[in-house]
Homo-oligomer: A and B are copies of this chain.
Amino acid sequence: MTFRAPVRDLAFSLRHVAGFDQLADAYPEADSDTVDAVLEAAGVFAAEVLAPINRAGDLVGAKLENGVVRSAPGFAEAYKAFAEAGWTSLAAAPEHGGQGLPKALEIATLEMVQAANMAFGLCPMLSLGAIEALALHGTERHKALFLPKLVSGEWTGTMNLTEPQAGSDLAAITTMATPDGQGGWTISGQKIFITWGDHDATDNIVHLVLARTPDAPAGVKGVSLFLASKVLIDESGKPGVVNDVRVGGLEHKLGIHGSPTCVMLFEGAKAELVGTLHQGVAHMFTMMNAARLQVGAQGTAIAERAYQQALNFSLERVQGRSAWTGAYPTRLFDHPDVRRTLLLMKAKIEAARGICLSTAVAADLAHAASDPAVRATAKLREELLTPIAKAWSTDVGVEVASLGVQIHGGMGFIEETGAAQHYRDARITPIYEGTNGIQAIDLIGRKLGLADGQAVADLMDDIRDTIEALKAADASLTPVAGRLEAALDAAASATAWLVDRRARAMPDALSGATAYLKLLGDTVGGWMLAKGALAPGAEALRGQLLRIYAESVLAQVPGQLAAVTLGDADLVAVTPEALGVH
């Protein structure tokens, strides 16, 4: 089906929800015309180049042939065009060949890329992580020879973290890096789930690899970060021999078949240390916020795609009698239950989009605002919102993709229709870059304590300001103020309970972690929609989405407090035997 790039919605969300205008001083070149032009061009590329190859990517997928990965049909060509058009360099620093635009704009363009073709979008997404790693921690050689190639998109990057026994737990990594006696390192070990670990779209691939070194301390503090390129390059950047890195296999996955998920075998591969010895995990964590936000945007993206497909179907498919007009036969769109579902999907997408773009604006401010106090405050906001952006938005992705299948009825279960692919593709997003359970633990374990609780206090103050604005707005929005206020009160109570428990009964707090992330995410999502509805000259739709969300989602938030504060007493008592496992 046709994909309509949501250019207008993204521009609206950037300006009226995420507060993009706060970046005017730090990013003077990102003026209104530039933003519109970039979004428009990215939308055209996504719709005209990436969306048309999405289905073939799913059906044919990437293949392993004679030890090398052959990209899905059209993907290599599309990638070359993508890089040539400059889409890999948008937010990179000018000194590395980038365009120096805000990350918020990059996230907005990436959302369209991911919506058009999520399997494709993973390739540039992983490169962005490698770019950030080398920009922050690379040597002069890395910055001179590797970084510009990644920024230009001539080469792509990968992240090699996971091993069979080390998924969420990086302390369990066993891949070894040993000094080669000439100032370099050789890496041996097996990495799994390596996204775009090999392909035929570029001449070289830059693998960033977490590995343990001889005599290193146990646990995460003994892990270092290395660079091992697919093709070795000499001092001048000239390509030499192929490195001892091999693709051991491709995973057979539920979705994103166009994205080659590789088993990577490092068999004495030549490598270079990135950053400080034994600081590998810490170095990775400096990139974590960005990567998690990108996955959050993927959640929004797949929801947008699924919603569009369902909306189109509801306008084409004629079935039954309209409860409103009595017309027979009528479009699915003319059944109240279907229309309600579509609007709730749309509301959740706009909420997720607002959360992700707000997180990105905070990241830009934290990076580039001239005032250190602004930078510090924005950093807190970025840190606090990141797990919500990642987990809440990807949960929305899965939920909306499932509703998209449902609206299609029996046709939704047929692969040719396309709705099923979104349902399959979406399912990875709550898992990778830290499962949503880990995001919830990060939120209560680390983020609630940021600046002694200032991060969450600031957020709640800002939401209260919007509640006041709702109360002062026209009568169609005042009931919503009460819903948002009740939600925020519940969020405040839940936060206070968790802050108390995390200090003295961590398992109590942890057992409510996922419930808390949902409670806070639902509330923040309502705040995003409220800002949209309050925007000067906002279309009627913004108020409609807010009201439907307020009555369908915000109204249930106070009731979620119980799930947060349940504690762990019953959990402790349960044994596998009581559950029937003997």
Please list the residues of chain A having a beta carbon within 8 angstroms of any beta carbon in chain B: 4, 6, 8-9, 162, 165, 167-169, 172, 192-193, 251-255, 311-312, 315, 318-320, 323-324, 329, 333, 335-343, 346, 398, 402, 405-406, 409-416, 420, 423-424, 427-428, 430-432, 435-437, 440-441, 483, 506-507, 510-511, 513-515, 539-541, 544, 547-548, 550-552, 555-563, 566, 568, 570-574, 576, 578-581
* Distance between Cα atoms of A557 and B555 in the complex (Å): 10
Determine which of B252, B511, B551, B574 lies in contact with A541 in the assembled complex, contact meaning CB atoms within 8 Å.
B574
Instruction: Tell me the minimal C-beta distance from A153 to chain B in angstroms.
Output: 27
Are B580 and A8 in contact (CB-based, < 8 A)? Answer: yes
B413 in contact with A435 (CB, 8 Å):
no
Q: What are 26 A-B pairs at a CB distance below 8 A?
A: A6-B580, A9-B580, A252-B414, A312-B581, A335-B437, A336-B507, A336-B568, A336-B571, A337-B511, A337-B514, A339-B511, A340-B511, A341-B437, A342-B579, A398-B402, A409-B431, A409-B435, A412-B431, A483-B562, A539-B578, A544-B573, A544-B574, A551-B566, A555-B560, A556-B562, A557-B559
User: Are A506 and B323 in contact (CB-based, < 8 A)?
Assistant: yes
> Do the beta carbons of A576 and B413 come within 8 Å of each other?
no
Contact partners of A412 in chain B: CB under 8 A: 431
Closest chain B residue to A323 by CB distance? B507
Please name all residues of chain B whose beta carbon is closer than 8 Å to the beta carbon of A437 when the two chains form the complex. 335, 337-338, 341, 406
Give the residues in chain B near A312, CB-CB below 8 Å.
581
- Of A339, A346, A539, the most chain B CB neighbours within 10 A belong to A339
Known contacts A571-B336, A572-B324, A566 near B552 by CB under 8 Å: yes
The closest CB in chain B to the CB of A483 belongs to B562
Q: Give chain B residues whose Cβ lies under 8 Å from the Cβ of A252.
A: 414-416
Which residues of B are found within 8 Å of A253, using beta-carbon distances? 413-415, 420
Q: Give every chain B residue within 8 A of A430 (Cβ-Cβ).
A: 406
Which residues from B are CB-within-8-Å of A550?
562
Question: Which residue of chain B is the closest to A568 with respect to CB atoms?
Answer: B336
Q: A432 touching B410 by the CB < 8 A rule?
A: yes
Whole-angstrom CA separation of A4 from B581 in the bound complex: 9
Q: Is the CB of B410 within 8 A of A431?
A: yes
Which residue on B lies nearest to A414, using beta carbons?
B251
Task: Given A336-B568, A511-B337, A539-B578, answer yes or no on A413-B398 (Cβ-Cβ < 8 Å).
Answer: no
User: A555 to B8, alpha carbons, bound, how many Å?
Assistant: 39
**Chain B residues within 8 Å of A548, by CB:** 566, 570
Q: How far is the CB of A356 from chain B (nearest CB, A)?
A: 19
CB neighbours (8 Å) of A406 from chain B are 430-431, 435-437
Which residues of chain B are near A559, meaning CB under 8 Å? 555-559
A427-B405, A427-B423, A568-B336 given; A168·B319 CB < 8 A: yes
Are A420 and B319 touching (Cβ within 8 A)? Answer: no
CA distance A558 to B324 in the complex (A): 28
Residues of B within 8 A of A561 (CB): 555
A431 contacts B413, C-beta separation under 8 Å: yes
- A349 CB, min distance to chain B CBs, angstroms: 11
Nearest Cβ in chain B — how far from A43, in angstroms? 12
Which B residues lie within 8 Å of A420 (CB)?
A: 253-254, 427
Instruction: Known A424-B254, A437-B337, A544-B570; judge A324-B552 contact (CB<8 A).
Output: no
Contact B507 A324 (CB under 8 A): yes
Q: Is the CB of A410 within 8 A of B167?
A: yes
> What is the CB-to-nearest-CB distance from A303 to chain B, in angstroms, rounded to a whole number?
14
Contacting residues, chain B, for A333 (C-beta < 8 A): 576
- How far, in whole Å, are A528 and B120 apart by their CA atoms in the complex? 47
List chain B residues, Cβ under 8 A from A514. Answer: 337, 340-341
Please name the residue on chain B nearest to A164 by beta carbon.
B411
Contact status of A315 and B576, CB under 8 A, knowing A323-B507, A338-B437:
yes
Knowing A424-B254, A513-B337, A580-B6 are in contact, say whether A570-B547 is a contact too (CB < 8 A): yes
The reply to whether B172 and A552 contact each other, CB–CB distance below 8 Å, is no
- Interchain CB contact under 8 A, B581 and A311: yes
Nearest B residue to A172, CB-CB: B329
Contact B506 A343 (CB under 8 A): no
Report whether A162 and B410 are in contact in the complex, using a CB–CB cutoff of 8 Å.
Answer: yes
Contact A562 B555, beta carbon cutoff 8 Å: yes
Are A255 and B511 interface neighbours, CB within 8 A? no
A540–B337 CB distance below 8 A: no
A343-B571, A440-B337 given; A510·B323 CB < 8 A: yes
Collect the chain B residues with CB atoms within 8 Å of residue A552's CB.
515, 562-563, 566
Inter-subunit contact A541/B423 (CB<8 Å):
no
- A539 nearest CB neighbor, chain B only: B578
| B337 in contact with A581 (CB, 8 Å) | no
A427 contacts which chain B residues (CB < 8 A)? 402, 405, 413, 420, 423
List, in ascending order, chain B residues with CB within 8 A of A562's CB: 483, 550-552, 555-556
> A572: which B residues are within 8 A, CB to CB?
324
Contact yes or no, A579 B541, CB < 8 A = yes
* Smallest CB separation, A519 vs chain B (Å): 10
Instruction: Tell whether, in the assembled complex, residue B571 and residue A340 are in contact, meaning their CB atoms are under 8 Å apart.
Output: yes
List, in ascending order, chain B residues with CB within 8 A of A323's CB. Answer: 506-507, 510
CB proximity of A159 to chain B, nearest CB, Å: 13
* A138–B192 CA distance with the chains assembled, in angstroms: 59
A342, A510, A559 — which one has the most chain B CB atoms within 10 A of its CB? A559
Q: Which 10 A-B pairs have the closest CB atoms?
A: A556-B559, A555-B562, A336-B511, A254-B420, A559-B559, A336-B510, A544-B570, A551-B562, A552-B563, A551-B566
- Within the complex, what minimum Cβ distance (angstroms) separates A572 from chain B? 7
